[in-house]
A and B are shown apart, each in its own frame.
Chain A
Amino acid sequence: MIEAVIFYMFAFVLMAAAAACVSVRQPVLAVLSLILCFFNAAGLMVLLGAEFLAFVVLIVYVGAVAVLFLFVVMMLDVRAPAAEPKKRQRFLRPAFAVVTAILFLEILVVVFSSLSASDVAPVIEADFENTRLLGQVLYTDYIYPFQMAGLLLLVGMIGAMALTLTKRKEVKRQKLWDQLDRRAGEVLEVRSVKTGEGLL
């Protein structure tokens, strides 16, 4: 009973946030409702007993991807578009509606034709943790692709640095060691200057 209530709560907020995400005009608001969407999807996953996936969604999608979206939206300073859609864009809305309707119909067909209760993976019972299971599979059966994916991410990081880190020659830089290493006697000379005569 209580599970059903929680499920419908998450599901309702998820749908509402998804609708808001595609319908609001402010890009920042759209990204924020996308984040709300991710949170509720994570909640649904916890209900299914997939707590690892839930936290991965939170960490990766909310923590990294959505925040990146927010940065980009704020940096680009995307204003809300003018209320009147342009002529060329006017046909887009019905086109999207048709595509969405087709996708929705496909889901309906799948749900009502072939899917029986036995086809659905059972909800995992709580006597073992799927985090530990996933870890065991990742580090044994799939160790090779896992490590290769690690190298792939490393190459991504190297690339980000190699392509953006600039060492320009014309820029004057501090040489801390050279600056701190010199002595007063090497660079300073004390002279007594007579009044009215100057240095030279």
Chain B
Amino acid sequence: MMESVSLIRPELFLALAALAFLLMSAWFQKAEGIIYGCAGVMVIAALWIACADGAGVLLNGMIAVDDFRRFVKVIILLSGAAALLFAPSFFKQDDPVDGAYGVLALFASLGMLGMVSATHLLSFYVSFELQNLALYILVAMRRDNRASSEAGVKYFVLGALASGVMVFGLSWLYGFAGSGSYAMIASAADHAQGLGLGVGMIFVLAGLAFKVSLVPFHMWTPDVYDGAAAPVTGFLTAAPKIAAMAVLGFLLLVPFGGLWVFWQGPLAALALLSMFWGALAGLLQTHIKRLMAYSAILNMGTLLLAVLARDGQSLLLYLCVYVMAALGVMGGVSLIRIKGQELERIEDCAGLGRVHPVLAGAMALCLFSLAAVPPMAGFLGKFMVFFAAVKADFTGLAALGLLASVLAAAFYLRVVKVIYFEAPKQEAASFEAQGLPARAAAAAVVLLALASSFLMIYPGPLLTWTASAAESLL
């Protein structure tokens, strides 16, 4: 018992820290300190998880620890911490937000860690709801902002529906296997393939597809991304997507690995629809956060190719690369102020290259990485995914995915063009990013941009780490 608890010490630390910060936020009026503290706790927990080793199933088969889960947890926590860094400078100028922001982000990441660790339907569902609930609140947190409230309600209602669909699927799986444990479901699936298994799997897949916004389930994404405050959008683009995509990949590859024949058709359809709809609809967007929403849809579709090819390494690598670049862009968006207002339209970025060369350069590097321009990390990620798909005899899908990502490169590069080559309009000429919080956020953006650009030159450590993580998956 003792050694099993020692495997989840970082998570316990995270939970206790969240409670401590919750208490502190009742007394300390300074929200900034609490938000930075929460980010620090996330980084500490990430390092702790990264340095730990050992594997095993613990707490009565509810959760497990292994290399795959450890890797995913580390990138969830690091991306969550980066997204928290963007918050203080953003909310300082807008409306003051209380320490609950950081605490909710901590609880959300705790839920995501639980989702990834789960080896039982019950523990999976409880953690899934923990992160969902915290995210709904984060989205709706700017009370005075109508768009934000609308986004919160939309996310909540649609998310509750998706949860209902997923729970329905979970109940079918439980009914089929007579147990909620993944291992029991997998062994039951080996012996008999009944209606319950198929129905349950499809409904669970639908619930997770909603979470990662794959195309028939993506409707909420642009509205929620656009309505939420920019740092919250940054949080949404990264951590929940990593968690849900990792769980999707894990569920399909491990417990449902034997049912590959059944899920590959629906999954290929989801991938194609997401890639093309993300690329085509992204071309028409005028708002930067909506553009990032369609970018998320497109990239999640691309990631499905890695799941289809049953290649854990390219899945993890591409997740990392995408999250770094998307977080960098969202960090830039949350730093830019146009006459004290949040940046919304892409055309308002015009002239950023002259006013803020550092921030503009970092954002451009991240956008290049998203567009998968060769020297950037994004190219490495996309190359790995498409290469894995071709190796697994999905040549047609890989070719179509390549076409979609070429289409998508156009909308990323359009933003770069606006940043550097368009003359700023008179009324939108002021960009303000001053003070220590803004500097810290800018430093995080620059760091993400540098990581996105140098990963291609020195990919060794990440490649070996993702390879060993993927090895424990299959």
B22 sits at the interface (CB 8 A):
yes
Complex Cα gap A142–B152 (Å)? 32
> Chain B contacts of A140 at CB under 8 A?
60
Give the total of A residues in contact with B, Cβ under 8 Å: 20
B141 sits at the interface (CB 8 A):
yes
Complex Cα gap A162–B62 (Å)? 31
B59 sits at the interface (CB 8 A):
yes
Given contact pairs A140-B60, A158-B22, A167-B98, enumerate 5 new A-B contacts (beta carbons under 8 Å).
A145-B62, A145-B123, A148-B130, A155-B137, A159-B137
Q: A residues engaging B (CB < 8 A)?
A: 140-145, 148-149, 151-152, 154-156, 158-159, 161-163, 166-167
Q: Which residue in chain B gives the minimum CB-CB distance to A162?
A: B100
Q: Which residue in chain A gives the minimum CB-CB distance to B8?
A: A144
Known A155-B104, A155-B107; judge A162-B126 contact (CB<8 A): no
> Chain B contacts of A141 at CB under 8 A?
60
Known A159-B104, A159-B137; judge A144-B22 contact (CB<8 A): no
B455 sits at the interface (CB 8 A):
no
| Secondary structure call for the B interface | helix
Q: B residues engaging A (CB < 8 A)?
A: 15, 22, 59-60, 62-63, 98, 100, 103-104, 107, 110-111, 114, 120, 122-123, 126-127, 129-130, 133-134, 136-137, 140-141, 143, 152
Known A145-B122, A145-B126, A152-B126; judge A159-B133 contact (CB<8 A): yes
For the A-B complex, the count of residue pairs with Cβ-Cβ distances under 8 Å equals 64
Q: Is the pair A148, B123 in contact by a Cβ cutoff of 8 Å?
A: yes
Q: Is the pair B134, A155 in contact by a Cβ cutoff of 8 Å?
A: yes
| Secondary structure call for the A interface | helix
Q: Is the pair A149, B133 in contact by a Cβ cutoff of 8 Å?
A: no
> Chain A contacts of B15 at CB under 8 A?
151
> Chain A contacts of B114 at CB under 8 A?
148
Known A158-B104, A158-B137; judge A148-B126 contact (CB<8 A): yes
Please give me the 10 A-B residue pairs with the lowest Cβ-Cβ distance, nearest first. Answer: A159-B137, A148-B126, A144-B62, A162-B100, A144-B59, A145-B122, A141-B60, A152-B130, A145-B126, A155-B133
Can you show 30 pairs from A to B with CB atoms below 8 A apart?
A140-B60, A142-B60, A142-B122, A145-B62, A145-B120, A145-B126, A148-B126, A148-B127, A149-B126, A151-B107, A151-B110, A151-B130, A152-B126, A152-B130, A154-B107, A155-B104, A155-B137, A156-B133, A158-B103, A158-B104, A159-B104, A159-B133, A159-B134, A161-B100, A162-B100, A162-B137, A163-B141, A163-B143, A166-B143, A167-B98
